[in-house]
Amino acid sequence: MTEEIFPGVELGEGTVVEPGARIGVPPRGAAPGELPTIIGPGSRIRSGTVIYAGARIGARFQSGHGAMIRENNVIGDGCSVGTNAVLEPGNRIGDGTRVHSHCFLENVTLGRRVFLGPGVVFTDDPHPPCPRYDECVGGATVEDDASIGGNATILPGVRIGARSLVGAGSVVTRDVAPDTVVAGSPAREKRKTSELVCAPGHFAKPYEWREALDS
């Protein structure tokens, strides 16, 4: 088994493409090489990954096995997309963001250093498809440093504020304020992130380490 790299693919220096990966696959209606595909330096594309032509990915990118990244995705530096995650067209992902295994995103905007736990699903269609689909609500927006627990579902058009935390298994039906913890179905505010406690006692408060990085 060998990797398959289509015309029009630009791989940065030191990027490794493992056997079985396919890079620059032309989307429907496009010829091979018609849309440029860019992957920055120092990246690793693991076996089974499929990246369509028209994707633009920054430096130090990591993909899990079997990840799929469709056309018209823009991914920043230092990001990862986990095993069997699916990025449909139209996502914008900021630097340092981690998309864990089995996530599903379409038309989603993620800020910097966002964390998505395994199995997080974003929806962008408020009802079954219709001829005016493109005029509907669209995908969610997640601001910088927000974290979303595993198996959460995020409904169309929702905005999740910076530094917020969404509990595992939650269904987010409305906007989440910055610095807020929400959980449940539908997700409701539980407390502020400043009220959280570091259970093992490694830090005086959760995310203290992040503040040190930002200083």
202 is catalytic: no
Q: What is the structure's pLDDT at 213? A: 63
Q: What is the structure's pLDDT at 215? A: 58
DSSP secondary structure letters along the chain: ---EE-TTEEE-TT-EE-TT-EEEEPPTT--TTSS-EEE-TT-EE-TT-EEETT-EE-TT-EE-TT-EE-SS-EE-TT-EE-TT-EE-TT-EE-TT-EE-TT-EESS-EE-TT-EE-TT-EE---SSS--TTGGGS----EE-TT-EE-TT-EE-TT-EE-TT-EE-TT-EE-S-B-TTEEEETTTTEEEEEGGG---TTSSSSSTTHHHHHHH-
Q: What is the structure's pLDDT at 153? A: 98
Q: How far apart are CA 166 and CA 157, in angstroms?
A: 16
Q: Which of 65, 100, 102, 127 is catalytic?
A: 127
Going from N- to C-terminal start, the domains of the chain cover 4-214
Q: What CATH number labels 4-214?
A: 2.160.10.10
pLDDT (tens place) for every residue of the chain, 215 residues total: 788 999 999 999 999 999 999 999 999 999 999 999 999 999 999 999 999 999 999 999 999 999 999 999 999 999 999 999 999 999 999 999 999 999 999 999 999 999 999 999 999 877 777 777 777 778 999 999 999 999 999 999 999 999 999 999 999 999 999 999 999 999 999 999 888 888 888 888 777 777 766 65
Residue 145's contacts (CB-CB under 8 Å, 6 or more residues apart) are 111, 112, 113, 114, 162, 163, 207, 210
